[in-house]
Structure 1
């Protein structure tokens, strides 16, 4: 992951930290590459059962690196963002891929936010399944202040969390939202004085469950609102048929009746 991201896996939980604290983990080409490569590596690792994404230093992510942004001025093709051919996903630039890679992980991704999550940093936070934030954390869809629109999947992910009207207000104004308001409007899941510790605790709780059931549940919930009810119901039936009687499901039942912690094997 190079010098931009650190990763430590313990007990099935990947503790992933943006590691450019001198720049408040600002996004440059190296950070985009590291986010993509790290997400892809974790997605391919069957031993990973949950992920916590956070930032080292004073904040989660300050957004696009200002020096890199300055180099974009007046150029039609932004070099720091870069373009990519991502096939059927239709992800057209590295910024989109750096964020959406985390949405596509088959396991839950918990984002722990302290300090700031601005612009692209806010959009990366949106890619998580759950966001645990410090009460005084600050979020902003900052792009409008640079005369731009969000282009790291935020226009598609934000309305799903806060509703279309609130998403428009935040995008049109770029105003700051603290952690308390973020929870109130649905931008964050809950607040905690130590969001990283709370996120790791939750991740380990998730990692203790049947990993195949967790993956199946995430898959089904991600389908909600994107397919018809009939398609969703059919997929529910398909997923549960694959779980019933499987070794991990049998182990869950046995452990419950024997009043002991279950011993699950990793997902295939």
Structure 2
């Protein structure tokens, strides 16, 4: 996000409340107290403050270039591991801890010994870029 970006929960200015999960997800991102303050006031915050509150990951002078570099970096990782991690992280905090830990063990058990996991290890030992296969999205860089 650009440091000088401007964000706001504007609905209060129109006599409304946030919708589209705004009231349900915002407290988990910024904390209940900040969510209330932003929702009740409609205050404008900068990109820098958005990062400090947890609404964005980081600022960059050229956010598009930074986002594309991050996407490229993620695309160089095992697509199987990325999908498994996404599934687990999306569930975190929404299921009981025991259920999340069991899902984690199931996912890692499904990954160990797969062609892409083996390729990650071989490439690391050989100091080269992994060549993953992805039946869903084709070959990866």
Aligned to 1:161: 29
Aligned to 1:170: 38
Match runs of 1:87-236 below 5 Å: 133-236=1-104
Distance between the aligned counterparts of 2:124 and 2:84, measured in 1?
20
Distance between the aligned counterparts of 2:20 and 2:112, measured in 1?
39
Kindly provide the CA deviation profile for residues 10-64 of structure 1, in whole angstroms up to 9, marking residues without a partner as x.
xxxxxxxxxxxxxxxxxxxxxxxxxxxxxxxxxxxxxxxxxxxxxxxxxxxxxxx
Size of the aligned set, in residue pairs, is: 136
**TM-score normalised per structure 2:** 0.93
**TM-score normalised per structure 1:** 0.50
Paired residues of 1:210 and 1:264 also in contact (CA < 8 A): yes
Paired residues of 1:211 and 1:267 also in contact (CA < 8 A): no
Distance between the aligned counterparts of 1:144 and 1:245, measured in 2?
53
User: Cα RMSD over matched residues?
Assistant: 1.0
Q: Which runs of 5+ in 2 are unaligned?
A: 137-141
- Richer in strand (by share): 1
Whose radius of gyration is greater, 1 or 2? 2
Distance between the aligned counterparts of 2:10 and 2:51, measured in 1?
19
Paired residues of 1:183 and 1:189 also in contact (CA < 8 A): yes
Distance between the aligned counterparts of 2:26 and 2:131, measured in 1?
37
Q: Which runs of 4+ in 1 moved over 6 A?
A: none
Kindly provide the CA deviation profile for residues 193-235 of structure 1, in whole angstroms up to 9, marking residues without a partner as x.
0001001001100010001101111111111111111101100
Distance between the aligned counterparts of 1:261 and 1:215, measured in 2?
20
Q: Which runs of 5+ in 1 are unaligned?
A: 1-132
**Secondary structure, in 3 states, of the residue corresponding to 1:191?**
coil
Once the two structures are TM-superposed, the CA of residue 267 in structure 1 deviates from its matched residue by 5.1
Aligned to 2:139: none
Paired residues of 1:137 and 1:178 also in contact (CA < 8 A): yes
Distance between the aligned counterparts of 2:32 and 2:134, measured in 1?
38
**Secondary structure, in 3 states, of the residue corresponding to 2:132?**
coil
Aligned to 1:91: none
Distance between the aligned counterparts of 2:126 and 2:26, measured in 1?
44
**Secondary structure, in 3 states, of the residue corresponding to 2:73?**
helix
